[in-house]
Structure 1
Amino acid sequence: MASLGAGQQPAWAELAEPDVLRGLLGALELKLDGTRAAADTIRLRRTTLGNALEYAVETKALGENPLSEVRVKKHRAKLHQVDRRSVVNPVQARQRSEIGAEWTDSRTRSEQRSLKHREDSRADAVLA
């Protein structure tokens, strides 16, 4: 398919061969610089190819959609270990949640009552 020039019709019969279709699907996963494209980009490209093949079936250029018969393994994302230095520790998380509680306006009424109750009890403790 890459060898097609401007104005040439695609050879739909070539796409009916599983090896050719697998090569095309592999090419859909790559960016121009040869690195792997994002998952959403691959999904959109594959959807577009599927739509083009369905159109070829509608116009009788293909007897059936060859994409439905070709199985391709899903790419597994590599899991990377998280650097512990970049993760918030429990003390920092508590401090940040206390700071966030003072500044957020998205509380429910019960949360507002609960915070008011805590503030009142803190004030009573200071006065005592």
Structure 2
Amino acid sequence: MPAAYAFAHLHDRSPHPDVIEYLERIQATLDPFHGRFVIHGGTLEVVEGEWPGSVVLIEFPGGMAAARKWYASPAYQDILALRTDHIEGDVILVEGVGPGYDPLNRAEKLRSADPTGYER
């Protein structure tokens, strides 16, 4: 089972006290689901297009089920407004690819009957 990720593109960050409290409490919400920060607002370099804001990436080795359970968990829902009340952004949960992933398979699907090229 491939890992899943919570990906956030955050705009207009602000060091509001609620945001600081959110940061102090978020890891405890991730621990039961083995979630870990992979990227947390580090330096980024835009090489194509525009990218206003910062990036957060959290990995869930347990896959999409774990990511969904974390996001819906009472512990996370209890702190969510601490961030969303002060920082605009977009957050998605996305399934990663497994260790044997080969983009040639995607290309073959695009050339064949499956016009989406997505593995199902």
Do they fold alike, i.e. is TM over 0.5?
A: no
TM-score bucket (shorter structure): under 0.3
Bigger relative contact order, structure 1 or 2, given CA contacts below 8 A and separation 6+?
A: 2
Larger proportion of helix:
1
The TM-score, its normalising length taken from structure 2, stands at 0.26
Larger proportion of strand:
2
Indicate the structure (1 or 2) with the bigger Cα radius of gyration: 1
